[in-house]
Chain A
């Protein structure tokens, strides 16, 4: 698939000497939703800031829609909408005025009908004449999204869009992001809510200590790194594991009522058949069985720990 943002060997060292990004390479595909996951201070915001022009990269290059963000910044920035992490707004402006301001700032002529559409899409139409300081936190978040969408961008950056947002609003936000993608907008979001990435992203990038540890299709990532567990509820309590089962990765828990077998879905053989055979020959019977797959959160924690 064609890439809309192309990041090559991007590094950023701040004036104080802190290296926030080192050698990041990433191709963002047109029309996808990509989530950048990482702990606090990993460099997610710096990466976004460098692409959007807020900080100057120290090394490397970024192209947006084939154009360099430094030499052709007018073209690249016109294509990008940015929703910052902090709720930074002017207090005294009205909702309508600030969204109109953003549209003008990004070089677009006034278009009342479009701004009405945007405000309606984030459920702020009835607040259009209110001063920003009268809005709640969730409304301000939506206002920032409206500002970012005011100039009809093709790429939307959402920096921690659902931090401090209640569950219902978070679901609304996900809906909005999906509908944006349907209308052809590429969405890049950073988050440390793994469930968010798992819920809406097509691909996931993991950043830690300024390095892009990995980028994968979400399903691929889950499959590749996902360990599966087979949980057996035993008919009779087991005091200890029989010797013939020692070759398997088994854990006995719940006072001998439950046997958990961890296996790798990538392996040529999962070992399930032979485990069941061996269980039968050891005379162990079970009432129920279930399998679980590790969540993205577990994968994430594992990756971040490995890169430490």
Chain B
């Protein structure tokens, strides 16, 4: 394994984060704080409790997931798209490094950034609402699995995109709506039956539900189904990347 190569890319990506610290870390923290102010304090004070949990606390897992998903995707997609855009990808392609090592480095860096972000948001949330985490280990596992899976998805998008618009397309048009409609701000049983059924087709629901379970031991679906879903998603992303490398799609042709 080309460990020096993986380290070099990882360091390069982390240096990019440091250069864009405001955009990478500070901006999401501010926007999350705004959610707390609007949904937690202003509106939440009128909702009071969902399934026995204060509304402000109820939305914490969903808010973390919202940031984790969107930032994992944008970090990883931008990380691999940018060398394609500037042309510096020639160096990656001519280096003695396997595509899986490249994935490890880019996805590792993107997931690291998302995890740092997730922890910062969690700490920020602690300022607004009293937090309790029933299963810290499960919580952390969900955080890591989600960050890695969606960084993989971001990597795929970065390979697929051939312009900046496409880079934004999936996060904006697919992921954000799925997160909002996946029970970030409400429990599924608050919806009319028809919408409940539709919501069960939203994969993000399972992530948020599982993640929320690790905090408050309550979820819209059983925890094992949530775990199964995130693992299935991870496997699907790995499968797509394997196919991309096998065919050389958008890279070496």
- Chain A residues within CB distance 8 Å of chain B: 14-15, 52-56, 73-78, 80, 82, 84, 86, 88-93, 97, 100-109, 147
Contacts and interface: CB of A to CB of B under 8 A. Distances in A.
Interface of B: 2, 4-5, 7-9, 11-12, 15-16, 19, 86-88, 90-97, 248, 252-253
Contacts of B252: 53-56
B90 A54 contact: yes
A108 B93 contact: no
Contacts of A75: 96
A105 B95 contact: yes
Contact of B97 (A14, A54, A107): A107
A55 B93 CA distance: 8
Contacts, number: 81
Contacts of B92: 105
A186 to B, nearest CB: 16
Contacts of B93: 52-54
B81 to A, nearest CB: 14
Contact of B90 (A76, A88, A93, A107): A88
Contacts of A76: 96
Nearest to A94: B15
A92 B95 CA distance: 22
Nearest to B2: A107
Contacts of A100: 8
Contacts of A52: 93-94
Nearest to B82: A90
A97 B91 contact: no
B51 to A, nearest CB: 48
A81 B130 CA distance: 57
Nearest to A86: B87
A15 B253 contact: yes
A92 B96 contact: no
Given A56-B248, A84-B87, A86-B87, A105 B5 contact: yes
A162 B248 CA distance: 31
20 contacts: A14-B253, A52-B94, A53-B93, A53-B252, A54-B93, A56-B248, A56-B253, A74-B2, A77-B96, A84-B90, A89-B88, A97-B15, A102-B8, A104-B5, A104-B7, A105-B4, A106-B4, A106-B96, A107-B5, A107-B96
A147 B94 contact: no
A88 B253 contact: no
A88 B85 CA distance: 10
A5 B130 CA distance: 67
Contact of B94 (A80, A88, A92, A93): A80
A89 B97 CA distance: 20
B169 to A, nearest CB: 22
Nearest to A79: B96
Contacts of A55: 252-253
B88 to A, nearest CB: 5
Contacts of B8: 100-105
Contacts of A84: 87, 90
- Nearest 3 pairs of A and B residues by beta carbon: A104-B8, A88-B87, A77-B96
A53 B248 CA distance: 11
Given A86-B87, A101-B8, A104-B8, A74 B96 contact: yes
Nearest to A56: B252
A103 B97 CA distance: 12
A12 to B, nearest CB: 10
A82 B97 CA distance: 15
A196 B19 CA distance: 41
B29 to A, nearest CB: 23
